[in-house]
Structure 1
Amino acid sequence: DGTFLSSVQVGAIPDMLVFTPDGEKVLVANEAEPSTDYLNDPEGSVSIIDLRIGKSRFNYPPFQRGVANITQADVTTAGFTAFNSTPLDSSIRIFGVNATVAKDLEPEYITISADSQTAWVTLQENNAIGILDISQGAFTSLKGLGFKNHQLAGNSLDASDRDGAGGAGLINIANWPVFGMYQPDAIASYRYQGNTYLVTANEGDAREYTALTEERRISALTLDATAFPNAAALQSNAQLGRLNVTNTRGDTKGDGDFDALYVFGARSFSIWDAQVTQVFDSGNQFEQRTATALPTFFNSNHDSNASFDTRSDNKGPEPEGVVIGEMFGGAYAFIGLERVGGIMVYDISNPVNPRFVQYINNRNFAGNPGTGTAGDLAPEGLIFIPASQSPNGQPLLVSANEVSGTVTIFQIQQAP
């Protein structure tokens, strides 16, 4: 009924929260982004709010006091100070201004194991996932996600928004000598044959502050002549010149030029085991399938219908949200594409061999995004409602669309 019940203090800049499956706790991802001048850079953390009676009164049954009686004593905040002096995987990015590990890590999204004991937390800017022991209220490990080799078959990407005749756009999905930083935003989890698997939407994100701006076009960099003997051609607009990469990684010899190039995000979704070892990545499928489905609106932006290919130089379709629905005897992943829009659907019942099911996009490219006639723009948050909890007895998918300010409910039907 909208009655205020209680409030507690959590960490800096809470960005996302989720209940544990048993309903006993709420976990809050405290992203702790710095001020634009980096003079204030709080430590990232996850706060655990215990909704039960409290540890000091454990002899009472859960929920006896009710949420209205929650106090600050019921909050445990897990940070990363224990990792300040610990060697980290080399693919974990720690690069803030005068940053410690604890200050640099920025929790983005959380998924929780079915038994409510473990949480996996995406650290998007850092290209990592933290594993949290909920009962202990502490992170046990940090897992770097490695990099995606876009030179390999199946990992191609469209790298330019000006690769067509006269500098126009063109669908040109090809292999290029760059690496993708997975940098997932949303994460979800499910069980298969007794084991937990994680599903990530590999959006990518660059830091852009007054004191630190890492995004650069490849045309603006000096490339190592040995690593890139064809640098002049690569740095043309038609090839890699327009592509945005980080300037914080790639100068492996420390001599001022770049020996490797790292782009933001992987333009894909991935499946990982509970120890964050990758078992599947969708490769170039998102760009290939949107190119087929929307050939005149490929890699469009979410705020303009006259934007064909304009996102190719910067994270492509930009997968942001993911949710898993268990139904029809299997598990399905729904992945929202922030820029071109729409939702990818995959049968992930077998985590090492997912199957594409459908791409649905109810964006109206004949409409006007400014007047609200362009349909759903920029799916941000996704919720799956199982048939057992659905008001019409059918499984539903709810999509909150950031740019259009709309909420859409899809009814899911099993294919004949």
Structure 2
Amino acid sequence: MKNLAQSIIALSFLFIASCNDDSPAPALENTNVNFKHKTTIKVGGEGASEITAYDAKTKKIFIVNVEKKEISIYDITNLNTPVKKTPITITSGSPNSVSIYNGKLAVAIENNNKQSNGKIALYNTDDQSLEASFTVGALPDMVTFSKDGKMIVCANEGEPNKDYTNDPLGSVSIISIENKQITTLDFSSFNSQEAELESKGFRVFGPNATLAKDVEPEYITISDDSKTAWVSLQENNGIAKINLITKTIETIYPLGFKDYSIAKNSIDPSNKDGKKELRQVPVYGMYQPDAITHVTIKGVGYVISANEGDAREYDGTPGFVNEERIKKIKLDPTVFPSINDYQNEANLGRLKIALDIGDTDNDGDYDKLYSYGARSFSIWSENGNLIYDSGNTIAKELLATTSDKFNDDDKRSDDKGAEPESVEVLNIANQRYILFVGLERTDQVLVYDISNPAAPIFLTILSHNGDEAPEGLLAIPSKDSPNGKDLLIVSNEDSGTVSIYENLK
């Protein structure tokens, strides 16, 4: 009854919205949402299915297979019987990401030495022949085509080595396909702005790192007009805006912090209290988005983020570890009086927090507590203003519908919760905008109607088998899909599978 009521509300909203839109509106029955599992492809073992791209020309999917260091390929012309094709073997380095535009496949490949420059390889999707190769920055972790297909843009994460003695610049590479020109942008021009950015919630905290070395570009999304890109800086808690025309990084938006002492943001901070319940606690969350996506709704652009969170743990010599459980740190006795027993494992003791911030008066104890990730998805304006955050609604929906999945059956309550990892939007007839949110730790995909970005409506949960860990999401609109129906393709990292859902309407 709950889902029925939500669907009625959603349809009512869409009817009202359509009355204010001069463009012809399709019949509402053509915008219904009813995704059901269609088929699952077993690609391999753990790491065999990280990110998937789809080619509408050949009806083939191309899958990042880290396990075998290849791009696995399947023909899905008949979704009931996908056909395995000859893979693309990566002979030097390891693939991290794929993207497709009009018969061209871009593959992001990290160097065998992660701190050295990587490359983007460009293939023909028909015969898998290599057409070009481009040298980019260190550790290209995500690649995408611009919407007009004229550019390839990649996020070069630039992670340090395990000893943290070699920390390359984080960067973004822009490749002009027509003239093969490569422009790699780093963040050196922002070094002088470090203090100002940090005062607004941005983080620069690696050992002896400048801002330019500390940033680790994670994920890129591009505007519909192919003029602007946004890149998530996950560890640093920010999003950067890039002008693709002038090929410059225009600004960095610090994302600030989320107050878990507010009722709508309450969390379960302990996996040792024997309970699955949400509490208001004196802790802040850092948004730290992983995947981001851009969408234009009624002429207004938005950036949507999956607020997974990520800590730095490098176990070399000297290495660097920047997280610890609250039970093991020194708390300011005035702010956190002992009578409240915050360091008890059943209270806040198990929760992992960042060590680089929180000692506001520099006296050796913690006055504020900052945990990793925001356990939510957020919708931002194109200029970094928060339009909507899902608060604690992900946790609430899991408790209400699949409590055994809640924070991986409570095992991850102390560490980033459900871990929203990926986001993808399906535009149905310019009337409904459906958001998919992949939850890495609970092996699920949540589905929302975001036609009103300020007030998303939860629709349902997609879940097939346990221990899947969805890493990548790809929506295929009906006009491009092999069976004429909207599809959702889910790349599952732990199970090494690709799950395909179809919209039965």
**What amino acid is aligned across from residue 147 of structure 2 in structure 1?**
P
- What is the CA–CA distance in structure 2 between the aligned matches of 1:2 and 1:137, rounded to whole Å? 30
Map of 2:428 onto structure 1: 327
Q: Tell whether 2:191 aligns with 1:84.
A: yes
Map of 2:297 onto structure 1: 192
Deviations 1:41-89 (A, max 9, x none): 100000001011x2xxxxxxxxxxxxxxx4xxx1001110100112324
Map of 1:355 onto structure 2: 457
**What amino acid is aligned across from residue 93 of structure 1 in structure 2?**
R
Q: Is the 8 A contact 1:163 1:172 kept in 2?
A: no
Q: CA deviation at 1:363?
A: 2.1
Q: Tell whether 2:299 aligns with 1:299.
A: no
Q: Tell whether 2:397 aligns with 1:289.
A: yes
- Give the stretch that moved more between structures: 244-253 or 226-235: 226-235
Map of 2:283 onto structure 1: 178
- What is the CA–CA distance in structure 2 between the aligned matches of 1:45 and 1:397, rounded to whole Å? 30
Q: 1:344 pairs with 446, 449, 457, which one?
A: 446
Q: CA deviation at 1:137?
A: 1.3
Map of 1:413 onto structure 2: 504
Deviations 1:167-225 (A, max 9, x none): xxx20211111000000000001112322101100000000013210110000011111
- Give the stretch that moved more between structures: 229-238 or 129-138: 229-238
Please give the secondary structure, in 2, of the residue aligned with 1:174.
coil
Q: CA deviation at 1:330?
A: 1.1
**TM-score normalised by the chain length of structure 2:** 0.72
Q: Is the 8 A contact 2:232 2:292 kept in 1?
A: yes
Please give the secondary structure, in 2, of the residue aligned with 1:225.
coil
Alignment of 1:185-224 (within 5 A): 185-210=290-315, 211-224=319-332
Map of 2:241 onto structure 1: 131
Please give the secondary structure, in 2, of the residue aligned with 1:7.
strand
Structure 1 consecutive aligned stretches of length 4 or more whose deviation exceeds 6 Å: none
Deviations 1:306-363 (A, max 9, x none): xx31100000100001101001521111000000111011111111111111112112
- What is the CA–CA distance in structure 2 between the aligned matches of 1:115 and 1:184, rounded to whole Å? 23
Please give the secondary structure, in 1, of the residue aligned with 2:263.
coil
- What is the CA–CA distance in structure 2 between the aligned matches of 1:296 and 1:410, rounded to whole Å? 23
**What amino acid is aligned across from residue 251 of structure 1 in structure 2?**
D
Please give the secondary structure, in 1, of the residue aligned with 2:383.
coil
Q: Is the 8 A contact 1:79 1:138 kept in 2?
A: no
Show structure 1 runs of 5+ residues with no match: 55-69, 165-169, 301-307, 370-376
Q: Is the 8 A contact 1:216 1:246 kept in 2?
A: yes
Q: Tell whether 2:499 aligns with 1:398.
A: no
- What is the CA–CA distance in structure 1 between the aligned matches of 2:296 and 2:365, rounded to whole Å? 45
Please give the secondary structure, in 1, of the residue aligned with 2:346.
coil
Q: CA deviation at 1:293?
A: 1.9
Map of 2:85 onto structure 1: none
Map of 1:59 onto structure 2: none
**TM-score normalised by the chain length of structure 1:** 0.88
Map of 1:111 onto structure 2: 221
Map of 1:149 onto structure 2: 259
Q: Tell whether 2:365 aligns with 1:239.
A: no
Map of 1:39 onto structure 2: 165
Q: Is the 8 A contact 1:319 1:336 kept in 2?
A: yes
Q: 2:334 pairs with 210, 226, 250, which one?
A: 226
Q: Tell whether 2:268 aligns with 1:158.
A: yes
**What amino acid is aligned across from residue 250 of structure 2 in structure 1?**
T
Map of 1:310 onto structure 2: 411
Map of 2:363 onto structure 1: 255
Deviations 1:262-309 (A, max 9, x none): 010011000000101001000111111112222234221xxxxxxx31
Q: CA deviation at 1:5?
A: 1.6
**What amino acid is aligned across from residue 390 of structure 1 in structure 2?**
S
Percent identity between the two aligned chains: 48
**What amino acid is aligned across from residue 259 of structure 2 in structure 1?**
N
Q: 1:122 pairs with 223, 226, 232, which one?
A: 232
Q: Tell whether 2:380 aligns with 1:272.
A: yes
**What amino acid is aligned across from residue 244 of structure 1 in structure 2?**
K
- Give the stretch that moved more between structures: 229-238 or 109-118: 229-238
Deviations 1:82-110 (A, max 9, x none): 00112324211000111011100000000
Q: Tell whether 2:159 aligns with 1:29.
A: no
- What is the CA–CA distance in structure 1 between the aligned matches of 2:185 and 2:376, rounded to whole Å? 30
Of the two structures, which has the highest relative contact order with CA contacts closer than 8 Å and spacing of 6 or more?
A: 2
Q: Is the 8 A contact 2:473 2:491 kept in 1?
A: yes
Q: CA deviation at 1:120?
A: 0.5
- What is the CA–CA distance in structure 1 between the aligned matches of 2:212 and 2:485, rounded to whole Å? 44
- What is the CA–CA distance in structure 2 between the aligned matches of 1:207 and 1:259, rounded to whole Å? 22
- What is the CA–CA distance in structure 2 between the aligned matches of 1:297 and 1:88, rounded to whole Å? 37
- What is the CA–CA distance in structure 2 between the aligned matches of 1:322 and 1:257, rounded to whole Å? 37
Judging by fraction of residues, say which structure has more strand: 2
- Give the stretch that moved more between structures: 22-31 or 287-296: 287-296
Query: Aligned Cα RMSD in Å?
Result: 1.2
Q: Is the 8 A contact 1:385 1:395 kept in 2?
A: yes
Q: Is the 8 A contact 2:198 2:204 kept in 1?
A: no
- What is the CA–CA distance in structure 2 between the aligned matches of 1:190 and 1:231, rounded to whole Å? 48
- What is the CA–CA distance in structure 2 between the aligned matches of 1:100 and 1:132, rounded to whole Å? 20
- What is the CA–CA distance in structure 2 between the aligned matches of 1:325 and 1:207, rounded to whole Å? 33
- Give the stretch that moved more between structures: 109-118 or 284-293: 284-293
Q: Is the 8 A contact 2:175 2:183 kept in 1?
A: yes
Q: CA deviation at 1:231?
A: 6.2
- What is the CA–CA distance in structure 2 between the aligned matches of 1:288 and 1:320, rounded to whole Å? 18
